[in-house]
Amino acid sequence: MTDVLPPVQSLPLKRSSRFDPPDDLKALRERGPLSRFSYPDGHLGWLVTSHAAARAVFADQRFSSRRELQHFPIPHPFVSGEMPPADPGSFPEMDPPEHTRYRKLLQGEFTARRLAHLTPRIEKIVADQLDAMEEAGPGADFVRTFSLTVPSLVICELLGVPAEDREQFQARAHVVAVASMDSTPEETMAALGALQEFVHGLVLARRSAPTDDLLGNLVRSGELTDEELTTIALNLLFAGYGLTVNMLSLGTFALLENPAQLADLRAEPELIDNAVEELLRYLTIIHVGPTRTALEDVELEGTLIRAGETVTLSLPSANRDEERFERPDELDFRRQGARSHLSLGHGIHQCLGQELARIQMRVAYPALLRRFPDLRLAVAADEVPMHDELAFYGVRELPVAWGAASGGA
Ligand code: HEM
In angstroms, what is the span from residue 378 Cα to ligand 1's centroid? 32
Distance from Cα 75 to the centre of ligand 1, integer Å: 22
Q: Is the dihedral of CA 137, 139, 142, 143 positive or negative?
A: negative
Amino acid residing at 342: L
Binding site membership of 150 for ligand 1 (Cβ less than 6 Å): no
Give yes or no for residue 63 CB within 6 A of ligand 1: no
Q: Where are the domains of the chain?
A: 23-401
Amino acid 181: pLDDT? 64
Task: Tell which atom from ligand 1 comes closest to the C-alpha of 94.
Answer: 40
The pLDDT value given to residue 175: 78
**Test site for ligand 1: of 350, 351, 354, most ligand atoms within 8 A of the Cβ:** 351
At the topology level, CATH places domain 23-401 in Cytochrome p450 (1.10.630)
Query: What span, in angstroms and rounded, lies between the C-alpha atoms of 331 and 279?
Result: 7
Using the mean position of ligand 1's atoms as its centre, give its distance from the Cα of residue 208 in Å.
Answer: 30
User: Distance, CA 240 to ligand 1 centroid (Å)?
Assistant: 6
The predicted structure's pLDDT at residue 392 = 87
Task: State whether the beta carbon of 286 lies less than 6 angstroms from ligand 1.
Answer: yes
Q: Of the residues 229, 354, 360, 392, which should be mutated to test ligand 1's pocket, given the most ligand atoms within 8 Å of the CB?
A: 354
| Ligand 1 center from residue 350 Cα (angstroms) | 7
**Which residue's CA is the nearest one to ligand 1's atom 25?**
240
pLDDT at 386: 93
Nearest CA to ligand 1 atom 34: 352
Cβ of 89 closer than 6 Å to ligand 1, yes or no, is no
Q: List the pLDDT tens digit at each of the 409 positions of the chain.
A: 445 688 999 999 988 899 999 999 999 999 999 999 999 999 999 999 999 999 999 999 999 999 999 999 998 766 667 788 999 999 999 999 999 999 999 999 999 888 988 999 999 999 999 999 999 999 999 999 999 999 999 999 999 898 899 988 888 888 776 666 667 778 888 888 888 999 999 999 999 988 888 999 999 999 999 999 999 999 998 888 989 999 999 999 999 999 999 999 999 999 999 999 999 999 999 999 899 999 999 999 999 999 999 999 999 999 999 999 999 999 999 999 999 999 999 999 999 999 999 999 999 999 999 999 999 999 999 999 998 877 889 999 999 999 976 444 4
Collect contacts of 169-177 with beta carbons under 8 A, ≥24 apart.
169/195, 169/198, 172/198, 173/237, 173/241, 174/148, 176/237, 176/238, 177/237, 177/238, 177/241, 177/242
Specify the length of the chain in residues: 409
Residue 138 one-letter amino acid: P
Q: How far away, in angstroms, is 7 Cα from ligand 1 center?
A: 30
Query: Is 55 close to ligand 1, i.e. is its CB under 6 Å away?
Result: no
Contact 324, 300 (CB under 8 A): no
CA-235 nearest atom, ligand 1: 35
Smallest CA separation from ligand 1 atom 9, residue: 344
Determine if ligand 1 sits within 6 Å of the CB of residue 74: no
CA atoms within 13 A on the CB side of 270: 0
Atom of ligand 1 nearest to the CA of 289: 16
